[in-house]
Amino acid sequence: MSKLDLTLKVWRQKDANSPGKFEIYLARGIDEDASFLEMLDVINEELTQKGQDPIAFDHDCREGICGTCGAVVNGRAHGPLKTTTLCQLHMRHFKNNDTIVIEPFRSRAIPVVRDLVIDRSAFDRVIAAGGYISVRTGSAPEANSMLVPKQDSEKGFDSAQCIGCAACVAACPNASAMLFVSAKISHLAVLPQGQPERLKRVVKMVHAMDKEGFGNCSNEYECEAACPKGIKVANINLMNRDFFKANLTT
């Protein structure tokens, strides 16, 4: 089992109102089979033993589901691998004596809270603005009472995989959230249950996105490249068409 010696340049920032800077840490004897977050755990244990503040980073499930672990690694959101969250990135994808630069996702709409931790509450407010359907609560409906074509169900599922990690915002030169918002719109728009509020939903969510201060899309495709769940920019096309149609009919 190989061990790695690494140099880490980590962004340290006390809080949202304090200036930040990079600090250098030496990571010695890191197991190549450790995940990236496990590597940070090792560094934090060493810092704690020295009486120093550990590196603050977000995490929860560590299974690529929750979307909280994101950070920029060597200039790329979630690191060098495609369709991989930071918690699923393993140290065997780095080389011995590598220098790794780690910094938080950056955008005015998702400010830094501390070190690598960012505030994603803007995403919650965008979803709350219209990302829902009006249905009766209670027992599950009969599966055959509303037939959904397989192609539509698969499109809806593909879009619903978005975990709201904000990698798309971090990768976009305009800090646009259109991939995230369009995914949340599309996974309802392609299903029959989402049709009653379809046009109202897109208007509300786009306006909420703009209100939060996210940038606009300029077709750079960096968002799709950075997305750990492979969400496609085709969702943005659907969102734009629905937004245009909504403004024609209201």
pLDDT tens for 131-145 read: 888 877 677 777 677
CA distance 2 to 24: 23
Q: What architecture does CATH give domain 3-113? A: Roll (3.10)
Per-residue pLDDT of 161-217, as tens digits, reads 999 999 999 999 999 999 999 999 999 999 988 999 999 999 999 999 999 999 999
Per-residue pLDDT of 72-114, as tens digits, reads 999 999 999 999 999 999 999 999 999 999 999 999 999 999 9
The chain-wide mean pLDDT, for the chain, equals 94
For the chain, residues classed under CATH 1.10.1060.10 are 121-249
pLDDT at 137: 64
Which DSSP helix (H) or strand (E) runs through 40?
Answer: helix 36-49
- Would you call 118 helix, strand, or coil by DSSP? strand
Across 39-60, average pLDDT? 97
For the chain, residues classed under CATH 3.10.20.30 are 3-113
- Sign of torsion over alpha carbons 159, 164, 169, 170: negative
pLDDT at 58: 96
Across 40-48, average pLDDT? 97
Confidence label for 1 from pLDDT (cuts 50, 70 and 90): low
pLDDT at 133: 85
Across 224-232, average pLDDT? 97
What percent of the chain has a predicted confidence (pLDDT) above 90?
88
Of 1.10.1060.10, 3.40.50.720, 3.40.640.10, 1.20.1600.10, which CATH number belongs to 121-249?
1.10.1060.10
CB distance 77 to 92 below 8 Å: no
Across 38-65, average pLDDT? 97
CA distance 122 to 127: 9
- Residue tagged 């690494």 (tokens): 6
CA distance 183 to 155: 10
